[in-house]
Amino acid sequence: MKNLNSVICFIFLFILSLSPVHAEQCEIRILHINDFHGFAEPYNPFGSDEMLGGIAYLTARMNALLNEKPSLLLSAGDMIQGNNWANLSQGESVIELMNTMKFDAMVVGNHEFDFGQDVLKKRISEAKFPVLGANVEGLDMLEPFMIKDINGIKVAVIGIVTEDTPVSTHPRNVSGLKFFSSESTAKKYVTELKNKADIIIILSHIGHHADRILAERVRGIDVIVGGHSHTKVEKPVRVGNTIIVQAWEHAKALGVLDLTVKDGKITKFNGYLEEIKPETGKEDNVVLAIVEKYKQKVDAVLNEKVGDADVDLDGENVRRKETNLGNLITDVMRYASGADIAIINGGTIRTSIKKGEVKVKNVYSVLPFDNYIVAIKLTGKQIKKALEHGVSAIEEGAGRFPQVSGLSFKYKRSAKTGEKVNEILIANKPIDPDKEYIVATNDFLAAGGDGYEAFGEAIKASGDFSIIGGVMKGEKVVYSDSGRWLRDVVIEYIKEKKRIDPTVEGRITEIQ
Q: How many angstroms separate the CA atoms of 60 and 283, rounded?
A: 5
CB atoms under 10 Å from CB of 495, counted, come to: 14
Task: Tell me the DSSP string of 390-407.
Answer: HTTTGGGT-TT-EEEESE
pLDDT for the residue numbered 116: 94
Last residue of a domain, one of 294, 322, 343: 294
Q: How many angstroms separate the CA atoms of 81 and 399, rounded?
A: 16
Q: Looking at residues 313-317, what average pLDDT do you find?
A: 97
Q: How far from 217 is each of 185, 198, 211, CA to CA, in Å?
A: 12, 20, 10
- Say if 1 falls within a structural domain: no
**Same-domain status, 349 and 281:** no
Which CATH number covers residue 490?
3.90.780.10
Model pTM score: 0.81
pLDDT digits (tens, 9 = 90+) for 402-445: 999 999 999 999 999 999 999 999 999 999 999 999 999 999 99
**Same-domain status, 313 and 288:** no
Q: Which amino acid is at 145?
A: F
- Say if 164 falls within a structural domain: yes
Q: Supply the DSSP symbol for 171.
A: G
Q: How many angstroms separate the CA atoms of 210 and 207, rounded?
A: 5
Q: Looking at residues 167-192, what average pLDDT do you find?
A: 94
42 phi/psi in degrees, rounded to 5: -60, 150
Q: Supply the DSSP symbol for 61.
A: H
Task: Tell me the DSSP string of 83-133.
Answer: SHHHHTTTTHHHHHHHHHHT-SEEEPPGGGGTT-HHHHHHHHHH-SS-EE-
Q: How many angstroms separate the CA atoms of 384 and 392, rounded?
A: 12
pLDDT for the residue numbered 466: 56
From 3-7, 157-161, 175-179, 273-277, the region with the lowest mean pLDDT: 3-7
Q: Give the total residue count for the chain.
A: 512
**Same-domain status, 233 and 321:** no
Q: How confident is the model at residue 4 (pLDDT cuts 50, 70, 90)?
A: very low
Q: How confident is the model at residue 498 (pLDDT cuts 50, 70, 90)?
A: very high
Q: Supply the DSSP symbol for 445.
A: H
Last residue of a domain, one of 294, 327, 361: 294
Give the torsion sign (CA, 208, 210, 215, 220).
Answer: negative
Q: Which amino acid is at 2?
A: K
**Same-domain status, 65 and 194:** yes
Q: How many angstroms separate the CA atoms of 284 and 60, rounded?
A: 5
- Say if 4 falls within a structural domain: no
Last residue of a domain, one of 241, 266, 294: 294
Q: With a cut of 60, say whether residue 463 has pLDDT above it.
A: no
- Say if 2 falls within a structural domain: no
**Same-domain status, 324 and 290:** no
Q: How many angstroms separate the CA atoms of 211 and 239, rounded?
A: 9
Q: How confident is the model at residue 457 (pLDDT cuts 50, 70, 90)?
A: confident
Q: Please give the torsion angle defined by the CA atoms of residues 432, 434, 440 and 444, in that order, rounded to the nearest 10 degrees.
A: 130
Could you list the residue range(s) of the whole structural domain that residue 161 is in? 21-294
pLDDT for the residue numbered 16: 43
Q: With a cut of 80, say whether residue 159 has pLDDT above it.
A: yes
From 18-32, 94-108, 240-254, 371-385, the region with the lowest mean pLDDT: 18-32
Q: Looking at residues 312-335, what average pLDDT do you find?
A: 98
- What percent of the chain is predicted at pLDDT more than 90? 85
pLDDT for the residue numbered 98: 98
pLDDT for the residue numbered 341: 98
- Say if 64 falls within a structural domain: yes
Expressed in percent and rounded to 5, the helix, strand and coil fractions of the chain are: 35, 30, 40
pLDDT for the residue numbered 3: 53
**Same-domain status, 35 and 180:** yes
Q: How many angstroms separate the CA atoms of 263 and 354, rounded?
A: 54
Q: How many angstroms separate the CA atoms of 218 and 213, rounded?
A: 9
Q: Which amino acid is at 38?
A: G
Q: With a cut of 90, say whether residue 49 has pLDDT above it.
A: no
Q: How confident is the model at residue 21 (pLDDT cuts 50, 70, 90)?
A: very low
Given phi > 0 = left and psi -120 to 50 = alpha, else beta, which region is 270?
beta
- Say if 3 falls within a structural domain: no
Q: How many domains does the chain have?
A: 2
Element housing 186 (H / E): helix 182-193
Q: How many angstroms separate the CA atoms of 486 and 499, rounded?
A: 19
Angle at 315 between CA 382 and CA 95, to 5 degrees: 105
**Same-domain status, 222 and 260:** yes
Contact (Cβ atoms closer than 8 angstroms) between residue 474 and residue 465:
yes
Contact (Cβ atoms closer than 8 angstroms) between residue 59 and residue 99:
no
pLDDT for the residue numbered 20: 45
Element housing 17 (H / E): helix 2-18
Which CATH number covers residue 27?
3.60.21.10
